[in-house]
Amino acid sequence: MMKRNIKDCTLGELESFVLELGEKKFRAKQIFSWLSKGIYDFEEMRNIPKKFRDQLKDSAYIENIVCEKILFSKEDATRKYLFKLKDDHLIESVYMNYRYGNSICISSQVGCKMGCSFCASTIGGVKRNLSPSEMLEQVLKIQEDVKERISHVVVMGSGEPFENYDALLKFLEIIHSQEGLYLSYRNITVSTCGIIPKIIDFARKMPQVTLAISLHAPNNPIRNSIMAVNKKYPLDQLLQACNQYIELTNKRITFEYALIQGVNDCEEHAEELGKILKDMLCHVNLIPLNKVQENTFIGSERKKAERFQEILEKYRVNATIRRELGSDIEAACGQLRRTQIANEE
């Protein structure tokens, strides 16, 4: 019999598994709670009878990922983690400390196939999807390292989460479970580059989770030139889907806009963006682009970002310039993994 990775299970799935093994359903809650505490050895599950622990060892295993490297920012509390998966693939996650709590940004795939031209994660394409437990492990390992509760999770690292949709939904259910990390859906953000059919489905299935859209352009020509996804799901259709999302969830949508010098950061771009977003329940995060070694894009200067923000506000579009955290530690999404791969080659 193939052993099952029980860390991939929602509580409901674990209950069925426990019943299949001939045990009482309540054992599932006990096991689930141990798994969420970062226990990897069945022997340490002290409230599980020895006989059942042995049975579990024969029929199940617990996924583990290994921390390969941690980079500590000298400027703030940000830490960047490089993890090795059991098939030796590498992924990265970032820990950030905000006034409102501890937030981490996790990866959902090894690499990414979406081909955004400013992003390091997509160089080399996608290798594979992450399992729910590999997403959960990033949270648990970082929580163990910083010795504090992680209060916010952002699925915005390497990968397009909506390309790994079923695993994403399971992961969200697992971290939200009362018997597990009990993280409020409101404290979770999922970011997509704009896979329209999934935006609508996500509104129906996870209406409390915050949705962020990587927008990065105010019109189709610019978006086409930097985000391949726009050719399949153009801007006007994307904005329509966003409006539908707002109608279904009654929630504000977040737009991520990385300011790239000479590409999307002029005053006329801000005017255009203001016009298309002016009546929408939304918030724009202006992000100073982090340098990626492999491409020539340069982030805009602070002054330009401030002017951009001013223009958006003229249209009553709420916008903030995101604080640059950990910019000294290869903070561009996917850069640490790329550097490590290059060193190994």
Neighbours of 76 (CB within 10 A): 16
Choice among 9, 116, 193, 333 that is catalytic:
333
Q: For the segment 249-308, give every residue that binds ligand SF4 (CB under 6 A).
A: none
Q: Does 335 bind ligand SF4 (CB under 6 A)?
A: no
Q: Which is nearer to ligand SF4, 158 or 210 (by Cβ)?
A: 158
Q: Does 164 bind ligand SF4 (CB under 6 A)?
A: no
- Smallest separation, CB 116 to ligand SF4 (Å): 3
- Smallest separation, CB 160 to ligand SF4 (Å): 4
Closest C-alpha to 344, from 47, 68, 67: 68
Task: Kindly tell me the burial class for residue 144, based on how many C-beta atoms sit within 10 Å of its own C-beta (0-12, 13-18, 19 or more).
Answer: exposed
Give the Cα separation of 302 and 62 in Å (integer): 46
Q: Which is nearer to ligand SF4, 30 or 230 (by Cβ)?
A: 230
Q: For the segment 184-243, give every residue that binds ligand SF4 (CB under 6 A).
A: 193, 214
Give the Cα separation of 61 and 94 in Å (integer): 27
Q: Which is nearer to ligand SF4, 181 or 199 (by Cβ)?
A: 199
Q: Which stretches within 206-298 are classed as H helix?
A: 220-226, 229-232, 235-249, 267-277
Maximum Cα–Cα distance across the chain? 70
**Is residue 333 flagged as an active site residue?**
yes
Alpha carbon 308 to chain centroid, angstroms: 26
Q: Does 158 bind ligand SF4 (CB under 6 A)?
A: yes
Tokens 């579990």, residue located = 56
Choosing from 160, 173, 265, 330, the residue that interacts with ligand SF4 (CB under 6 A) is 160
Q: Which is nearer to ligand SF4, 16 or 225 (by Cβ)?
A: 225
- Smallest separation, CB 80 to ligand SF4 (Å): 15
Q: Which is nearer to ligand SF4, 215 or 270 (by Cβ)?
A: 215
Residues 6+ apart with CB under 8 A from 301: 261
Q: Which is nearer to ligand SF4, 30 or 158 (by Cβ)?
A: 158
Residues 6+ apart with CB under 8 A from 27: 18, 48, 52
Alpha carbon 153 to chain centroid, angstroms: 7
Tokens 């193939």, residue located = 2
Q: Which is nearer to ligand SF4, 10 or 264 (by Cβ)?
A: 264
**Is residue 193 flagged as an active site residue?**
no
Choice among 15, 63, 92, 173 that is catalytic:
92
Closest C-alpha to 289, from 118, 174, 55, 136: 118
- Smallest separation, CB 120 to ligand SF4 (Å): 8
**What mask of x and - would describe binding to ligand SF4 in positions 86 to 125, judged by CB under 6 A?**
--------------------------x-x-x--x-xx---
β-pair partners for 318: 283
Residues that bind ligand SF4 (rule: CB under 6 A) add up to a total of 12
Tokens describing residue 313? 């506000």
- Smallest separation, CB 57 to ligand SF4 (Å): 38
- Smallest separation, CB 256 to ligand SF4 (Å): 9
DSSP state of 289: P
Footprint on this chain of ligand SF4 (rule: CB under 6 A):
112, 114, 116, 119, 121-122, 158-160, 193, 214, 333
Query: Catalytic positions, please?
Result: 92, 333
